[in-house]
Amino acid sequence: MLQATRQVGPTGPRARVRVLPVRAFAEREGRYNKPRMPVWMRTKRNGEFRVKALRATLQRTIREVLFGTKGFEKKLMGLITQLPADPTENSEAAAAVDRLVKLVQSAPGVKVTRAHKAGSFGRRTNVTGGFDVDLLVYVSEFDGKRLLYPTDWLDEALQLSIRRRVKQWLQGKGYGVVEIANDAHYGKVLQITAGKVELDLLLVPELVPAPLRDRIMKQHQLLFGSVFADPDNAEYCQLRERADTPALTEFTRGSDGVKEVVQLTKVGRRMDRMHEPQSSPRRRCGTIPRADGVRIGSIALEVLVLAADQRFRQAHHRAPMRQELFEEALQLIVAAVEQRVVVMVEAGEWGYRRELGMRCAAKNWQRHPVRIIHPTDPTCNLTRHQLLFGPVYADPENAEYCQQRERADTPALTEFTPGSAGVKQVVQLTKAWVRSLEDSGLVRSPDGVRVGSIALEVLVGAADQRFRQAHRHAPMRQELFMEALQLIVAAVEEREVVMVDAGAWGYRRELGMRCAAKNWEHHPVRIIHPTDPTCNLARPRDHRADPNYTSLAREARKLVDDLKTKSFDELATSSTLGGLITHFQKKLGLAM
């Protein structure tokens, strides 16, 4: 440790005072003795700082774009150069995808022909500070049987068997794979943790097993041949849409200028302050719409920018500058939401004529409040969430719970649920703890009904938000676990209504409470669905006993006291955490 020195009085041979070592306060505290921060942690922090700086800059830049402030073009271009994801983020994700693909290809009984990187990561429109890592794995055979589309792939039991086979194989190799028991909610996606990277893996049908040069086009033609042959009677199929994802990726290989504006628009979507209504029509062009339940998703934003690019070229007979394209995209968003303009993009050989697309409207999206149509699938409205919940948000006092509507809205829940690694680890611990209580008989209804998995996820998510509001910082994982336990007690013993802010996918708490009277006001426990305010995840079931929430609250209260007073060894031997604490000790920092 270098010590600073300071000399008082004259210097040289006649000096009358001796040299005294002076140590600063931080040095005395030993702050400079901290171990060097790992590279991955520095990278993560730098990414977080970049996102904060971008959000601080973005609103000012957009305001300058809309009002034509002098020099805004230069500022906009400077902002755009900062949007792409950090090379370290991309390289980590790519390495995780490569390892996972090799492992899935060796899964017993599952013949994998190829894999495709989807989402914003695959389309190279991901922005710094967090992006989707979606992976499609094409399966042609299962246990030696050739899988036919659509017959075999519409068999839910067969699909579940394939997913479980892959899940068990990956778990045996050390991957943290989460498959929710209620598969309808998660759209048949396996959520996988590979090191510090989180991926969504989807198994889809392979229609062209041979590695042909034009395999993607051939698959697209086989999937949509019947749709294009009879568009008036074609109906949307989620499996078909996802299996055709490579066609969308091929189409979106546009110019870098368009991709940069897509990235800018995605960052703009995240800013809550931009969602406030503006008085001037000109200023409303800067609003990314977020009325309750109205969400412009990632792919929909890309389609909007591509459609804006085509619209500008048709009107001005030239390619737009990037700032012109950005403003055109904002205006098209307003037109789609407020004027119900049908947004379609000309996708060339990968798409369809607008006349054919409009013929698919009647049976699919004609009455939807917002219509942004998939470039390669004319039956798919990328904003279909609003069809389901538009009436609910328009008249919440009279809206009633509908299970079919809740299940049909599964993509919205899938979009919302991904959270930080710390929150997911606390979710895993909470689920494991509750399941151990149920297995031991401490928490179980007479009919053996268990506490719902999604209800536990919402509890942890709500606990995370409550802690942040109270303490103005993110909780440590042990703090979050204790906060979740305390929220369980409050929900059961004090009948506190548990709601989580799902951002653009959800609703305001005030609107959710207006749905109470006709749906869950008198229920003993109220844990409300993040995207459906009429749905109580802890609702009493017809002809079935309810989960024993009273016993769960009692055990949660005991465990909170144990965590506050007992040592690590005592928790492992004399608390309901038992052996779980050893398993989760390193991940959650539970050592006392």
Place of tokens 């294009």: 228
Residue 22 contacts residue 5 (beta carbons within 8 Å):
yes
Residue 462's nearest CA partner among 510, 509, 414 is 509
Tens of pLDDT, residues 43-64: 656 655 555 555 555 555 555 5
Residue 137 contacts residue 204 (beta carbons within 8 Å):
yes
Amino acid 382: pLDDT? 86
Least confident of 245-249, 281-285, 449-453: 281-285
Distance from C-alpha of 222 to C-alpha of 202, rounded to nearest angstrom? 20
Amino acid 477: pLDDT? 84
Instruction: Give the pLDDT mean for 209-220.
Output: 83
Amino acid 52: pLDDT? 57
Q: How far apart are the first and last CA of the chain?
A: 32
Amino acid 271: pLDDT? 46
Residue 65 contacts residue 282 (beta carbons within 8 Å):
no
- The yes-or-no verdict on residue 37 having pLDDT over 60 is yes
Amino acid 334: pLDDT? 85
Q: How far is CA 136 from CA 94, 206, 505, 551, in A?
A: 14, 11, 24, 42
Amino acid 307: pLDDT? 92
Tens of pLDDT, residues 437-449: 887 888 766 666 6
Amino acid 2: pLDDT? 45
Q: Which two tokens stand for residue 192?
A: 């996988």
Question: Which pairing describes strands 190-194 and 134-142: parallel, antiparallel, or unpaired?
Answer: unpaired
Rounded to the nearest 5°, which phi and psi values hold at 471?
-110, -5
Which pLDDT band, with edges at 50, 70 and 90, does 67 fall under? very low
Amino acid 296: pLDDT? 59
Amino acid 173: pLDDT? 84
Which pLDDT band, with edges at 50, 70 and 90, does 126 fall under? low
Residue 458 contacts residue 529 (beta carbons within 8 Å):
yes
Distance from C-alpha of 134 to C-alpha of 122, rounded to nearest angstrom? 8
Q: Which two tokens stand for residue 49?
A: 């700082």
Distance from C-alpha of 202 to C-alpha of 182, rounded to nearest angstrom? 16
Amino acid 186: pLDDT? 42
Place of tokens 């998939």: 374
The DSSP bridge partners found for residue 381 are: 373
- The yes-or-no verdict on residue 68 having pLDDT over 70 is no
Greater pLDDT, 42 or 351: 351
Residue 450's nearest CA partner among 458, 459, 439 is 439
Instruction: Give the pLDDT mean for 277-282.
Output: 34
- The yes-or-no verdict on residue 161 having pLDDT over 70 is yes
Which pLDDT band, with edges at 50, 70 and 90, does 490 fall under? very high
Most confident of 63-67, 112-116, 254-258, 486-490: 486-490
Instruction: Give the pLDDT mean for 428-435.
Output: 86
> 98: which residues sit within 8 A by CB, 6+ positions away?
none
Least confident of 19-23, 170-174, 274-278: 274-278
- The yes-or-no verdict on residue 86 having pLDDT over 80 is no
Instruction: Sketch out the chain's domains with CATH numbers.
Output: 4-33 (no CATH), 87-206 (3.30.460.10), 250-410 (no CATH), 417-588 (no CATH)
Distance from C-alpha of 119 to C-alpha of 258, rounded to nearest angstrom? 17
What integer best gives the mean pLDDT of the chain? 75
Greater pLDDT, 437 or 2: 437
Least confident of 93-97, 169-173, 312-316: 93-97
Amino acid 53: pLDDT? 57
Locate the DSSP E strands across 130-226. Answer: 134-142, 145-146, 176-178, 190-194, 197-205
Share in percent of the chain as helix, strand, coil (round to 5): 55, 10, 40
Which pLDDT band, with edges at 50, 70 and 90, does 511 fall under? confident
Instruction: Give the pLDDT mean for 284-313.
Output: 66
Q: Where are the alpha helices (H) located in 351-409, listed in sequence order? A: 354-359, 385-394, 403-408
